[in-house]
Amino acid sequence: MISDTSEPARQQESGTPGEPQAVLQQIEEIAHLAAQINRESESAATASLQQYKQLRVLEQVIDGLAVHTDNDELLADAMEQVAMMTGSAEVWVVEATEAGALGMVHMLGEVVVGESDLPLEIAALCESVFYQQPHPSRLRMTLADGKTATAMPILMHQRFFGSLVFTTSGASPISDELRDRLLHSILRYVAISLENRHFIESLNEMIVEVVCGFSLAIESRDSYTGGHVQRVTAYAVALAQALGMSDEDQSIVRLGGLLHDIGKVAIPDDILNKAEKLTPEEFDIIKVHPVVGHEILKRIPHLDRANQIVRHHHERWDGQGYPDKLAGQQIPVLSRVLAIADSYDAMTSDRSYRETKTHEEAMDEIRQCAGTQFDPEMAEVFCRFSEPTLAKAGEIMHEWIQSKDHSNGLSIDQLIAMKKPRLPQVI
């Protein structure tokens, strides 16, 4: 008997019912999973690229700030970077003082502006950041013009150096995440810069106190020239002002004047305090004091230019001075300033072996020696001073020497700048 096997055979060939649909479903799931993996890979690649771009921007900002050695330039560049990343046209760095939140004010587009130029709302925001403990990472305030002001503290080692403030009126041109990372990096650089500046301030303050101490020590040794160092310094600063010299040059003249006779510490007392006229041999001994003073100070780099004054304040325009017989423009310009002031005080000070000259007689002598002993242009300017003007300059210098108020110092962006109060104009 022949059996019919065609149906089972067909079932065997085609498999169980519904199997093709299951396979198709598995294929679809695999395809969906592959698409999901592809999307995640693309997302991860995009995120990595975005992170790379952010790091590149951060690196560029840091590199841009790192090249600066001048504090004001770094702050100006930092404010420009803040403006670009926030879309702000108003950015301030407001330095704090020991007494409060408001000190020196730096503004976008300006070098330094006064506290009075700071909008009252911005000043109030800075004070809020300063007085809140712990200092908030940021404070925001809606201003009267509808803009939003944001203030962030400038901190280093838990020390508050000031506030970074900017205003915004719309969306940031970059992502919030990147903006915040950049802002915190900029704050670190600004904090480091201000910390370094405070260190230089302290160093310069120490230098000026030491210099003032040296000056008083020099005065105490010479019984015939009491007040000479202070008067010479006062007259030299007055001349530097009249010549239109910069604050930096005036501060160097001030230092050089206070130190110009420091080399006399090596002169024996019997020569230094001799009542009679010196012999040629004794005068030769006196003539070494500029070199001695220069040797004493040359190991202090901050005093390099002031030390030129110490060495060359006895040079003459005609080359007949000492110790190096420099002539004319070879003599450092600030040394020429002090040479006139030193000679005027020597002529108008009491000496037992010669008559003291009056103000008018001393000025006549300086006019006669212009072009031989003195720089002729400087001598002409000095001879315009009245006796009361020079007396007033001496009073101002005495007050400056005695002052303990360091709240209004000269520019510290120059290493030589001092933290003593700025001397008022005397002419």
Q: Does 155 map to a domain?
A: yes
Instruction: Give this prediction's pTM.
Output: 0.59
Same domain, 332 and 226: yes
Q: Identify the sign of the CA torsion 398, 399, 404, 410.
A: negative
Give the CATH number, domain containing residue 313.
1.10.3210.10
Are 117 and 190 in a shared domain?
Answer: yes
The SS3 call for residue 95 is: strand
Q: Are 228 and 215 in contact (CB under 8 A)?
A: no
| CATH number of the domain where residue 125 is located | 3.30.450.40
In a domain, 53, yes or no: no
Helix (H) or strand (E) holding 409: none
- 129 and 231, same domain (yes or no): no
In angstroms, rounded to a whole number, what is the distance separating the alpha carbons of residues 98 and 118? Answer: 19
Same structural domain, 134 and 231: no
Which of 164, 182, 198 is at the close of a domain? Answer: 198
Say whether both 74 and 179 belong to one domain. yes
Give 219's contacts (C-beta < 8 A, 6+ positions apart). 225, 226, 227, 228, 229, 230
Per-residue pLDDT of the chain (427 residues; tens, 9 = 90+): 444 545 554 444 444 556 777 767 777 767 667 666 666 666 655 555 445 454 554 555 555 545 455 667 777 777 887 887 777 888 888 888 877 888 888 888 776 666 667 888 888 898 988 988 888 888 888 888 888 888 888 888 778 888 888 888 876 666 666 677 777 777 887 888 778 777 777 777 777 677 667 767 777 766 555 688 889 999 999 999 999 999 889 989 998 998 898 888 888 888 888 878 889 999 999 999 999 999 988 887 678 899 999 999 999 999 999 999 999 999 999 999 999 999 999 999 877 667 889 999 999 999 999 999 999 999 999 999 999 999 999 888 888 777 654 333 333 333 333 333 344 455 4
- Which amino acid is located at 232 in the chain? V
Q: What's the CA angle centered on 382, arms 238 and 356, to 5 degrees?
A: 100
Instruction: Say whether both 303 and 360 belong to one domain.
Output: yes
Q: Tell me whether residue 185 is exposed, middle or buried, using C-beta atoms within 10 angstroms of its C-beta: 0 to 12, 13 to 18, 19 or more.
A: middle
Cis peptide before 268 (omega within 30 of 0): no
In this structure, what DSSP letter does residue 280 have? H
Cα–chain-centroid distance for residue 73? 10
Residue 388 located in a structural domain: yes
- The total number of structural domains in the chain stands at 2
**Which DSSP string do the residues of 112-169 spell out, in sequence order?**
-B-GGGS-HHHHHHHHHHHHSSSPPS-EEEE-TTS-EEEEEEEEETTEEEEEEEEEES
Q: Is 366 domain-assigned?
A: yes
CB atoms < 10 A from the CB of 183, how many?
20
Residues 335, 244 share a domain: yes
Q: Are residues 296 and 377 in the same domain?
A: yes
Q: From the centroid of its chain, how far is CA 248?
A: 12
Q: Is residue 156 part of a domain?
A: yes
Domain assignment present for residue 57? The answer is no
The last residue of one of the domains, among 165, 198, 231, is 198
Do residues 131 and 184 both lie within one domain?
Answer: yes
Residue 158, phi-psi category: left (phi > 0), alpha (psi -120 to 50), beta (remainder): left
- Is 153 among the domain residues? yes
Domain span at residue 366?
Answer: 222-402
H-run or E-run covering 106: strand 105-107
- Do the domain assignments include residue 87? yes
